[in-house]
Structure 1
Amino acid sequence: MENIDLLITNATILTLDKQNSRSGSLAVTNGRISGIWTESEPPSTIILTPRTEVLNLNGRTIIPGFIDTHNHILMYALNKNKVNCSTPPNSSVDDILERVKLMAIDTPKGKWIEGYGYDDTLLKEQRHPTREELDRVAPDHPVFLTHISSHFAAVNSKALILAGIDESVSNPRGGHFGRDINGRLDGVLHEIPAMEYVQKYVPVPSVDEMITALGEGSKDYLSQGITTNSDAGVGLFIGEAELEAHIVAAKEGINPMRSQLMVMHTLLRKGEKFGNYSAEQLNEEIMKSSNGNARLDSAKMFQDGSIQGLTGALREPYYNNPDVVGELLYHQEAFNEEILDLHRRGFRVTIHGNGDRAIGSILDSYSYALEKAPKDNHRHRIEHVQTATIDDLDKMKQLSVAGSVFINHVYYWGDRHKRLFLGPERASRISPLADMVDRDILFTLHSDCPVTPISPLFSVWAAVNRLTKEGEILGADQRIDVVTALKSMTIFGAKLNFNEANVGSIEIGKQADFTVLGDDPTQVNPMEIKDIPVEATLIGGKIVYEKEGALLG
């Protein structure tokens, strides 16, 4: 072995290969793993050169770099400059109003005020902020506050006026405008189709501002050990400019992570810039423009909303509202044809589905496309897979459809799902990981950041323990073991990304993407997994994050 650039010694290496082997040292050459040894030091026959960097991990654990297959890093990064409406720190509508009021004082009249992260079900009043309340604290500014789920917004009168919305407005398919007991618009926009009426009037950041934001956001992701990341809706709010920002940030190393771009299907429709592109053509353009640091992941669609917003499409009514079952965003026939078009053009398709009726609709569309144009190894996906039934999972297996599972729902919404939205029986089955393991369905875990904080170790913890915020184990029979949970954010993610030949496990020839942990997740008390510190993150054998001199100090 020649020209070793990096030698890692005295480590606890979880390779997460097929044998789940453990090692003690490894070598990196030209950004790829060139040697792995069981012992803590390589054999004496290994020759080091003056330029070889040696990292003694002093027993720390090293695993393949984490892969988060579904989040919204650009949205997360842009939120940093908006009003923080989250709970905590806010516990009431009044707390949020005070923050909006303070922002209005420092914002020129007429300029938009944006906020993010409020959760009506966690606020003392158990409701959204209203138009009248926002008018009171910001009468001279249009206001747009986004719900934690990104499926609702609260706006004031000035925002409605600028958007040309009056009392005669009709509800769009898949969304509606909230109204008070007198039938007057209350300023709450339910679901993306309604939000878009106002959001298109909110000034958008420039490409340069988005590039800078991606750089800042990536620092937080790297600190959590993420080396490959998927933005799950490129173009959702700002259009093609989002794609440009991602490509430049990747090309210039402003965002050092390996980027998977889930491009909104609306940018791929006939008449749009990419309307005549095949997936291969678009991927080649992205790869070339980003110096190989970004790749096309998929064409992204939605088929319903969120369970907590009563807009996830269910087969049976909501537990707390027997008149509501949610709504599919697309009629099945039109949905089928759009999926078929994307499928024939070579796109892997990823579709948001929370409710079981939406999941069934998605599976029907995939079945339709595969019947018309059979294709092996398509790896079409369902995003979130929150309330999939046994029959849904059986059909996923039959069609070889993969799932990216929003496991964090269990902790953050499990109690409310049981008490309010789904009832005990359905709530205990959300994110049915054990049933997916039993069927050998390819799946990953994700954070959906900024809906929940970015933390792969937290998601692993949630999958292993299924503990809710109030301390209840929700669906004990759906817990999975630690190694499987770790693989769901490493090698399974690599497979979902069609990149298992290069990343996802620690094996000779693969790219040297590593996460260094302060403890071994397979050895600690399972309840402590989320608290294990991330000491460092390496991409291509280069340190891109280090906690307070953990490696070099």
Structure 2
Amino acid sequence: MLNKELLLRKLNKLSADQVVINANVITMNPKQPQAEAIAVKNGKIIGVGSNAEINQFCSLQTEILDLKGKTLLPGFIESHTHMSVYASTLSLVDLFYLNTHSIEDIQTRIKQCAENTPEGTWIVGWGYDCARLAEKRHPNRWDLDKVAPNHPVFVHCFSAGHFGTANSLALEMAGITRDTPSPVGGEIIHDANGEPTGNLAKVPATAMVMKKIPPRTLADLVDGLRKCNEIYLKAGVTSIQEACLGGLDPNELIAYNQVISDNELSVRVTAMTYYELFEMLLSKGADLSELGVCSGCGDDRLKIGPVKIIAGGSLPTQTAALFEPYLGDPSNKGNLLFPQEKLNEVIFKYHKAGFQIAVHAIGDREIESVIEAFESALTRLPRANHRHRIEHCKLATEDQLDRIAKLGLNVTFYPAHTYYFGDQYRDIYLGPQRAARLNPMKSALNRGITFGLHGDSPLTPVSPLGLVCTSVVRETMSGDTQGPEQAISLTEALKAVTINGAYLVFEENIKGSIEIGKLADFVVLSEDPYKIAPRDIKDIQVDLTIIGGEIVYQRF
């Protein structure tokens, strides 16, 4: 017969490590939409129900978290973000568009940096938006030369990689002269006299200068990821889909491994790997089947997700490819980064190798090209449950959405751009009709297309609740309502930052809803989003972020 002490030990092994009680639990599980309490053991959910039901999981060793009626949801999933880029921007000259209002502001900050930096050392800034500058133009090389003639300088607009400006010394170091041809898919912009202005459009052109900038040290990248961890946790993000691993620096994977092994990165990471990183390995004689890397390999802290391909530009830099010209510039429809045959070839290569594929496409002409490439690949080699994705997909037409649904493609939409840039899209870049069609979520929902939501941080602040809010109310910063017919319900918006986000990378069985057996990743909110005005959802505070049952962020 067991003695009392031994019996207690055995019972304790079966009991919960933590329980949450007196909570307004929104589970995102349609079979059990709401609950009052949750039991957690070894970082996973072992019970969901009423206080009385969960009480049976308790022992003397169980930690009890009494939420006193607060609202708890599954942790938010950011389905397209650039944490590694964000980590880099923290050490750059801060030109973020919400705080930079003129070229003089840019010059002042570059000058301050130059005064404290040895001559000949690179100065890199990031984050301005030319439409928000008083001059309504990008800075040029002469603007930068005035304040830092003896430093190579490169400033990114907020749409990092899609547009940037180099000063004269940086152009010289990159070998760019008036006679240098634009690279395929990019543009070296010249003035009326044929001189390069320092403005470089699209990734192939900006890369000509960026590859001359000394790479970040591993220590710098690790330190940046530590700081980013706190930023994402404060917003209630428990999982991210890193949108371009290796796009700037092959050391990014090493840095992620280091901060995770040192327990300094709580946020779970599924990484989209930039296809050119694989292409580099293939050029050295490797074979895709021999790399030992595939979509889904890894663990619940860090795993490899889709292969990432960039097929176009961005709208604010007027480089995304459109069928109709940009507003006020009848000569500019943007350009595709790939000839159609080349894109078909690249997508088929990774489709055949068994990878999930995620392709950046914003403009309707880019989306058309990407759909054609997926149609070609899936016709040549049908594959069930591929879950290939189109990233951003902002200006998809009704016909294109029909084809996306037919092909079984998934999407992650970008509502943060409607909030932060919708007024500019309406007045400067697209006009009211096209601006109203940005992020056609309702049309996608009506076709059964699974989609997530993202903020593409650091391009916009990390705020899943902001994404939810804009998806429901479709309001810009000025309060203008754009495309109300594309608004979705609060429940659908919350699904898009929880269970749908998990589905996009084959993780719906381990996260995204509060169900027995799933990871105990939760967010606790200051208010119930169902009980306040929809436009106020963006102002809800995150009180607690919990990952694997452990509190990793606490507001007070």
- Identify whether the pair has TM-score above 0.5, normalized to the shorter chain: yes
**1:460-471 equivalences in 2 (<5 Å):** 460-471=468-479
State the one-letter code of the partner of 2:126.
Answer: Y
State how far apart, in whole Å, the 2-side matches of 1:276 and 1:464 are: 46
Is 1:23 the counterpart of 2:31? The answer is: no
5 Å matches for 1:68-467? 68-150=78-160, 151-238=162-249, 240-269=250-279, 271-272=282-283, 275-278=286-289, 281-283=292-294, 287=298, 292-467=300-475
Instruction: Give the aligned residue type for 2:174.
Output: A
Q: Contact 1:229–1:258 (CA<8 Å) still a contact in 2?
A: yes
- Aligned pair partner of 1:60 in 70, 83, 87: 70
Cα deviation digits, residues 459-503 of structure 1 (max 9, x gap): 001101110122110001000011110110000001001010100
Alignment partner for residue 18 of structure 2, among 6, 16, 30?
Answer: 6
TM-score by length of 1: 0.95
2:240 partner letter: N
In structure 2, relative to structure 1, the CA distance for the partners of 1:44 and 1:457 (3 Å cut) is: closer
Q: 1:61, 1:519 within 8 Å by CA — same for their partners in 2?
A: yes
Which sits farther off after the overlay, 224-233 or 84-93? Answer: 84-93
The residue number in structure 1 matching 2:7 is none
- The amino acid that maps onto 1:471 is G
2:515 matched residue in structure 1: 507
Quote the Cα distance in structure 1 between the aligned partners of 2:57 and 2:545: 26
Partners of 1:14 and 1:20 within 8 A in 2? no
Structure 1 pair 455–527 and aligned structure 2 pair: CA distance change class (3 A):
same
User: How far apart are residue 42 of structure 1 and its match?
Assistant: 2.7
CA deviation after TM superposition for structure 1 residue 280, in Å: 9.0
Which of residues 481, 485, 500 in structure 2 aligns to 1:492? 500
Deviates more, 1:479-488 or 1:163-172: 163-172
Give the whole-Å Cα distance in 2 for the aligned partners of 1:162 and 1:45.
Answer: 68
2: CA distance between counterparts of 1:192 and 1:263?
16
What residue in structure 2 maps to residue 551 of structure 1?
A: none
Q: 1:272/1:298 Cα in 2 relative to 1: closer, same or farther (>3 Å)?
A: farther
Residue 49 of structure 1, CA deviation = 2.2
* Structure 1 position 202, deviation (Å): 0.4
Identity %: 38
Tell me, yes or no, if the aligned pair for 1:215 and 1:254 is still in contact at 8 Å: yes
- One-letter code aligned to 1:338: V
Q: Which amino acid aligns with 1:337?
A: E
Deviation at 1:277, TM superposition (A): 3.0
CA-CA distance at 1:251 after TM superposition: 3.2
Q: Distance in 1 between matches of 2:32 and 2:204?
A: 46
Please give the alpha-carbon distance, in whole angstroms, between the structure 1 residues aligned to 2:136 and 2:126: 17
CA positional deviation for 1:364: 0.6
d(CA) in 2 for partners of 1:3, 1:341: 49
- Deviation (angstroms), 1:88: 2.7
- Equivalences, count: 542
Partner SS, residue 239 of structure 2: strand
1:272 shift after superposition: 4.7
Cα distance change on mapping 1:491 and 1:152 into 2, 3 Å: same
Give the conservation status (yes or no) of the 8 Å contact 1:435–1:478: yes
SS in 2 for 1:360: helix
Amino acid at match of 1:247: N
Amino acid at match of 1:80: L
Three-state SS of the structure 2 residue aligned to 1:415 is: helix
Which SS does the other structure have where 1:340 is aligned?
A: helix
Deviations 1:128-161 (A, max 9, x none): 1111111110111111111101111111011011
For residues 286-324 of structure 1, the C-alpha deviation after alignment (integer angstroms, 9 at most, x for no partner) is: 62xxx6521111100111101121211111222221111
Q: Which amino acid aligns with 2:392?
A: H
- Structure 2 gaps of 5+ residues are 1-10
Please provide the CA RMSD for this pair. Answer: 1.7
